[in-house]
Amino acid sequence: MKLKTIAIAALLVSALARADELPIAVAANFTAPIKQIAVDFEKDTGHKLVPSFGSTGKFYAQIKGGAPFEILLAADDETPAKLEKEGDGVSGSRFTYAIGKLVLWSKKDGYVDDKGEVLKKNDFQHLSLANPKLAPYGAAGVETLKALGMLDAVQAKFVTAENITQAYQFVATGNAELGFVALSQVLKDGKIAEGSAWVVPRNFYTPIRQDAVILAKGKGKPAAEALMKYLQDDKARAVIKAYGYEF
């Protein structure tokens, strides 16, 4: 029994010795899912995620500047591909971990109708969206307005946020009556948790394919490789799907 106990203890020590902290850059729209996934990932692998949240465009600049991230979970597929091409991403590691959905949301019940007609009425003062030059969800919002022929009419009412989290906060705090955010930010148990929303039809904007890539600093790191595999397993995918993403 003593030998068995010693053997088990040795295995636990060995596992802890192999466990690492994994610094990752995460697109702001994916904040809630990755926080939930991180708990299970640490329990199942021993590795601890250390996420930073922000806009994909800013992360690109930080990575090029030598930021210590080992994985990028982007809000698009272009940035990871670009990093891979430029040698800052590990070739062959990239894959689509989620396809995001855009939603027009207001904290007010009944304010946003289920067809987005509120945009055509144009009786609001402020429309929140993430900076379209840095954030794919912001770019999708602009595409949607162009498709509706409403961009010129409402552009002066933009409240431009640094990222999708801030875009959500502008609406949640009443600084904007409505805004374009990620469905994952307003969904709970498969329903809009608060206020009113229009899930924008997919044909109004370019599909938001969100790719993950191992960065140069994560090359050969067991924790980085473990997370990439974990995100493709059923357990993590169930979480991702619960927040309104597709694959």
Distance from C-alpha of 191 to C-alpha of 79, rounded to nearest angstrom = 31
Distance from C-alpha of 22 to C-alpha of 224, rounded to nearest angstrom = 7
Distance from C-alpha of 200 to C-alpha of 103, rounded to nearest angstrom = 5
213: DSSP letter? E
Q: Where are the domains of the chain?
A: 2-99+208-242, 102-199
Q: What is the dihedral of CA 208, 132, 231, 32, to 10 degrees?
A: -120
Of 203, 193, 209, whose CA–CA distance to 245 is shortest? Answer: 209
pTM across the whole model: 0.89
70: DSSP letter? S
Distance from C-alpha of 85 to C-alpha of 190, rounded to nearest angstrom = 38
Q: What is the amino acid identity at position 25? A: A
Which pLDDT tens digit goes with each residue over 120-141? 999 999 999 999 999 999 999 9
Which pLDDT tens digit goes with each residue over 181-196? 999 999 988 899 999 9
Superfamily of the domain at 102-199: Periplasmic binding protein-like II (3.40.190.10)
Beta-carbon count within 10 A of 97 CB = 22
What pLDDT, on the 0 to 100 scale, is given for residue 18?
Answer: 61
CATH topology of domain 2-99+208-242: D-Maltodextrin-Binding Protein; domain 2 (3.40.190)
What pLDDT, on the 0 to 100 scale, is given for residue 16?
Answer: 46
Distance of CA 172 to the CA centre of its chain: 19
Mean pLDDT over all residues of the chain? Answer: 93
What pLDDT, on the 0 to 100 scale, is given for residue 8?
Answer: 43
What pLDDT, on the 0 to 100 scale, is given for residue 188?
Answer: 87
Which pLDDT tens digit goes with each residue over 13-72? 444 446 799 999 999 999 999 999 999 999 999 999 999 999 999 999 999 999 999 999
3 has a pLDDT exceeding 60:
no
Distance from C-alpha of 107 to C-alpha of 198, rounded to nearest angstrom = 12
Ramachandran area for residue 228 (φ above 0: left; ψ -120 to 50: alpha; else beta): alpha
2-99+208-242 and 102-199 share one fold = yes
Q: What is the amino acid identity at position 141? A: G
Q: What is the mean pLDDT of residues 155-181?
A: 97
Q: In the sheet where 178-182 sits, what is the strand order?
A: 158-161, 127-130, 178-182, 102-106, 196-199
Q: What is the amino acid identity at position 198? A: W
Which pLDDT tens digit goes with each residue over 195-210? 999 999 999 999 999 9
